[in-house]
Structure 1
């Protein structure tokens, strides 16, 4: 028997998958500890269930994921709208160093990924989803680029990439704290006098707490209009660029870069048009749904034959991150307490996601004291500015080996 779900029913299932995953992550401590995203938990379980039902000839479920690209483009657009270059001035020299280091590690991660793919006689393009897309890109990035690669004929790219991203997320949470604890003990690092005066709970409220989204209907409409405008123009320009140059530029990438441009124009002319809390909320919702749709529709059978390349790539990526962050980055940032805390954040989002970075820094600062600089710089780079560097690097790799 075949059960076909139309696009609306598939979207409904994606919402239910997210709610199920959110329930499990709150109830199962290990999932909460490593900040495993709710769509990953719910989506993988549903994918397993669909595989079992199909293999046992009970029912074959076919999902219509036509709307997945819409949610994906919307998410990347909100990322672009969050990337104000005024933030670079706020973070100063350390933010620029940290930001550029994220670009360097992105290049190295792709080198590792492509090398592993070639070692196991896989298409070099698998190196993208074993590299930056999965590590610094996390589940959102690898879903976007994995989908693009599959459309280019690289079968299994999404499934393998999602597996790599999941393992990377766990690894980032496991090694970040211990490495920084070692640095603090080895160099006897202490927080600055000013940071000692900062109450951690108050600081969290200022820099992390989203609070309630306070926006009028007009503000919500204005912000949504900006988002949809960037999506429309960006996807159109992306298609034109690809046709004119032969250089693959997916629509969601074009939308993101148009959004970066529009955000910085708005900052200079009419900042009240864009409500950043609404933009953030739209981004969180669209990410949750497009991830849920992607995870629940993957073919898990494609992972089973590529477990060894994933394991080898992950071991090398973790080793690369540990060495780069604890030696090169630590020294570039000043070899002090603030730089050690930023190392924890760098490992967190360099192997997983920004929430992982924040969790790593929390675990250390709760024991040793606050780092004002780290909690300012890491979220800015990890959540927004990093995409400005990683997207061209990933696209260049795809076009180099396509």
Structure 2
């Protein structure tokens, strides 16, 4: 038995998944504390219901894949359009050093995943799915690469596997960062807990830092509104980003530089953003791009989770937990020893280690939550709150995409 849903019905169901996730997040504390995205919480419940329906009746559901791909490309375009390389100057040498730390970590994370997958008799590409595709990349990257590995490399169930790993990473990243940083601070006597008066002052600083994380706009006192003109302007930028991968995919098909379509969308956004910034002095509206990108990501994830075939993961549960347990240990050791030491062995370095655990296993919001938990107790870290959002918001996705493409080409 098989039922297929067209584009309109797929979109309706995706919105219902988002509403379910929003309701669950509002009433379940665990989902709020660990920053589980609303489409993931709602989508996993629906995916579980579809799984039970399949097991009982044999019914299989399919959804419009073209709609999912379109929203995926919009999301990755938004990452590219947010990549203003002039921000590198704000981070200084500390940002460049931290980027170097992250590059080495991505390679190590993938090496651990591929090595363990091979030892366990699995396809090495499963190791990449339990590596930086999902842990550094998050749910959006998991779905994108999952589709590539399924369609181009025949790895069945890759998307379902990726969503499971990314969800695990979000939870572990939130659990790991705070205790690790606290241990580093206590062991090396880097700071003392704040008094009540100092705590109140730190709270006001954290609010200011939080606004910087949420919005990379200029420090204008009057916020720019998302008007009709701004929306049309932003849509035009996205149209350029979406045209770029279509052109480049056709031009590079069968060549050595053939890349997944979403990588071209991300790269197109980077090119368009920085050409407009530096060649024409055009001010790109970052907040509007964030709104469009976040909405696209939510709908994309909802459709991806609707399309999960959880029965394809049954044989991978045991080996997958072995790989993810090893990745957790590697993350803790790397952040506690290398990240902390290379970034200066001081209080800022300890907060950066907490942030690294957040987006090294989960996502940028998890990293920020980890850092806020530490700074609320021990005081502000301006350096960490500047570097981590800049790296986690877009630089990490660009670096990760090209490292993954190289490793997949090497494995195949």
Q: TM-score interval w.r.t. the shorter chain? A: over 0.9
1:285-304 C-alpha deviation (Å, 9 max, x unpaired): 01111111111211101112
Contact persistence 2:215–2:287 (CA under 8 A):
no
Measure the CA separation in 1 of the matches of 2:133 and 2:268. Answer: 21
Task: Give the corresponding residue for 1:220.
Answer: 231
**Where does 1:349-360 land on structure 2 (aligned, <5 Å)?**
349-360=359-370
Q: Is the 8 A contact 1:114 1:125 kept in 2?
A: yes
Q: Does the residue aligned with 1:121 lie in a helix, a strand or coil? A: coil
1:99-110 superposed matches below 5 A: 99-110=99-110
Paired residue for 1:377? 387
Cα offset, 1:76, TM superposition:
0.4
2:269 match: 259
2:211 corresponds to 1:205: yes
SS at match of 2:121: coil
Q: Residue in 2 aligned with 1:302?
A: 312
Residue 145 of structure 1, CA deviation: 0.4
Closer, same or farther: CA 199–281 of 1 in aligned 2, 3 Å: same
2:378 corresponds to: 368
Query: In 2, Cα distance between the equivalents of 1:102 and 1:242?
Result: 31
CA contact (8 A) 2:206 2:372 kept: no
SS of the residue corresponding to residue 189 of structure 1 reads: coil
Matched residue SS, 2:384: helix
Change (3 A) 1:210 1:284: farther
CA distance in 2, matches of 1:341, 1:23: 32
Residue 87 of structure 2 is matched in structure 1 by: 87
- Give the Cα–Cα distance (whole angstroms) in 1 for the partners of residues 216 and 240 of structure 2: 25
Q: Is the 8 A contact 1:109 1:317 kept in 2?
A: yes
Q: Which runs of 5+ in 2 are unaligned?
A: 193-198, 218-222
- Once residues 248 and 176 of structure 2 are traced to their aligned partners in structure 1, the CA distance between those partners, rounded to angstroms, is 41
Relative to 1, partners in 2 of residues 1:83 and 1:271: Cα closer, same or farther, differing over 3 Å? same
Gaps of 5+ in 1: none
**Contact map agreement 2:78 2:290 (CA 8 A) in 1:** yes
Instruction: Give the C-alpha shift of residue 58 in structure 1.
Output: 8.0
The residue number in structure 2 matching 1:347 is 357
TM-score (norm 2): 0.92
Contact 2:215 2:286 in 1 (8 A): no
Residue 131 of structure 1 deviates from its aligned partner by 0.8
Q: Does 1:50 align with 2:50?
A: yes
Deviates more, 1:217-226 or 1:105-114: 217-226
> Counterpart of 1:71?
71
Q: 1:207 to 1:167 in 2, by over 3 A?
A: closer
SS of aligned partner of 2:3: strand
Q: Specify the alignment match of 2:188 in structure 1.
A: 187
For these two proteins, the number of residue pairs brought into alignment is: 400
Greater shift, 204-213 or 103-112, is seen at: 204-213
Distance 2:165 2:4 in 1: 29
Q: Which of 247-256 and 389-398 deviates more?
A: 247-256
Is residue 324 of structure 2 the alignment partner of residue 318 of structure 1? no
Report what 1:338 is aligned to: 348
Deviation of 1:400 after TM superposition, in Å, equals 1.3
Quote how far apart the aligned CAs of 1:52 are. 1.5
Identify the range of structure 1 (123-132 vs 143-152) with the bigger mean alpha-carbon deviation. 123-132
2:184, 2:350 within 8 Å by CA — same for their partners in 1? yes
For the aligned residues, what is the CA RMSD? 2.2
**Which position in structure 1 is the counterpart of 2:338?**
328
User: Residues 141-163 of structure 1, C-alpha deviation per residue, up to 9 Å, x if partnerless?
Assistant: 11110110000211121111221
User: CA shift at 1:56, angstroms?
Assistant: 1.8
1:240 match: 251
Which residue of 2 is the match for residue 122 of structure 1? 122
Q: Distance in 2 between matches of 1:150 and 1:371?
A: 43
Instruction: Answer yes or no: is the 8 Å Cα contact 1:239–1:251 preserved in 2.
Output: no
Q: Structure 1 residue 401: deviation in Å? A: 1.6
Number of the residue aligned with 1:395: 405
- Give, in angstroms, the shift of residue 42 of structure 1: 1.0
Hey, what's the Cα distance between the residues in 1 that align with 2:191 and 2:409? 46
SS at 1:56's partner residue? Answer: helix
Provide the rounded CA distance (Å) in 2 between the counterparts of 1:326 and 1:28. 31
Provide the residue aligned with 1:38 in structure 2: 38
Structure-2 residue corresponding to 1:269: 279
Distance 2:148 2:123 in 1: 15
Residue of structure 2 in register with 1:3 after alignment: 3
